[in-house]
Amino acid sequence: MNYKINEMFETIQGEGSFTGQPSIFIRLQGCPVGCSWCDTKHTWDVEQSDEIAIVDVLAKTQETSKWSASSEEQLLDTVKAQGWQAKHIVITGGEPCMYDLRPLCDTFENAGYSIQVETSGTFEVLVSDKCWVTVSPKINMKGGLEVLAQAIDRANEIKHPVATEHHVDELKALLNQFNANHKPVYLQPISQKQRATELAINTCIANNWRLSIQVHKYIGIE
């Protein structure tokens, strides 16, 4: 497989079940979902004129739509060459499930890494059996894509951005639709504003859900 890579970096996972886990992020290019609050809109479009070498991706100092095509073996070699110590790989985007991620999962797992995929749930999730799948269901977005039952069923956790009660109502309806109320649910304020955070806290307490506050943004890391 060739994967279009927008970013690769080592950091601390700031969201969901793996908050605090040293992680290597692999951000893939391409996403048709169209979330209005997306903070990685530079990953949406795939233009051939934006293709660059992987060394130039690693050297990025700002967000751009530039990407590099790399196989799973080349990505593993790149991680080793960087000397990164983290053993947890987070595949994100963009929308990573536009790709068949099974070769990527297998390659890294065979080398001793754990894998986590963060997806909108609007594409079939093709990953290894051991991969941890975080579905952040994108409901009624501009792209018009539906959240898939297969994605919700495969999810190890549901992580849902919220700003208003409407977002909470949408999530509850989705969980009921797919009989997924047994899944671990994290609510994540869309912004760091007090109103969104208070809504998430109160809703988590009322429903015995969990809070995800994007720790990396509060402590000022990538």
Tens-of-pLDDT digits for all 222 residues of the chain? 899 999 999 999 999 999 999 999 999 999 999 988 888 999 999 999 999 999 999 999 999 999 999 999 999 999 999 999 999 999 999 999 999 999 999 999 999 999 999 999 999 999 999 999 999 999 988 999 999 999 999 999 999 999 999 999 999 999 999 999 999 999 999 877 788 899 999 999 999 999 998 776 666 766
Q: In what order do the strands lie in the sheet with 157-162?
A: 68-71, 2-12, 22-28, 88-92, 114-119, 132-135, 157-162, 185-189, 210-211
Beta strand 157-162 pairing with 185-189: parallel
Residue 52 in 3-state DSSP? coil
Q: Write down the pLDDT at residue 222.
A: 65
Q: Write down the pLDDT at residue 87.
A: 98
Q: Write down the pLDDT at residue 1.
A: 86
Which residues, including other chains, have CB under 8 Å from residue 62's CB and lie 6 or more apart?
none
| Annotated binding-site positions for Mg(2+) | 40
Buried b (16+ CB within 10 A) or exposed e, 6-31: bbbbebbbbbbbbbebebbbbbbbbb
CA 151 to mean position of chain CA atoms: 13
- Report the CATH architecture of 2-160: Alpha-Beta Barrel (3.20)
| Annotated binding-site positions for substrate | 12-14, 27, 92
Q: Write down the pLDDT at residue 146.
A: 96
Buried b (16+ CB within 10 A) or exposed e, 182-203: eeebbbbbbeeeeebbebbeeb
Q: Write down the pLDDT at residue 190.
A: 86
Q: Write down the pLDDT at residue 221.
A: 64
| Annotated binding-site positions for S-adenosyl-L-methionine | 37-39, 94, 136-138
| Annotated binding-site positions for [4Fe-4S] cluster | 31, 35, 38
Q: Write down the pLDDT at residue 68.
A: 98
Q: Write down the pLDDT at residue 170.
A: 95
Buried b (16+ CB within 10 A) or exposed e, 122-158: bbebbbbeebbbbbbbbbebeeebebbeebbebbebb
What stretches of 19-121 show up as alpha helix (H) in DSSP?
54-58, 72-82, 102-110
Q: Write down the pLDDT at residue 171.
A: 96
Residue 53, amino acid:
A
| Annotated binding-site positions | 12-14, 27, 31, 35, 37-40, 92, 94, 136-138
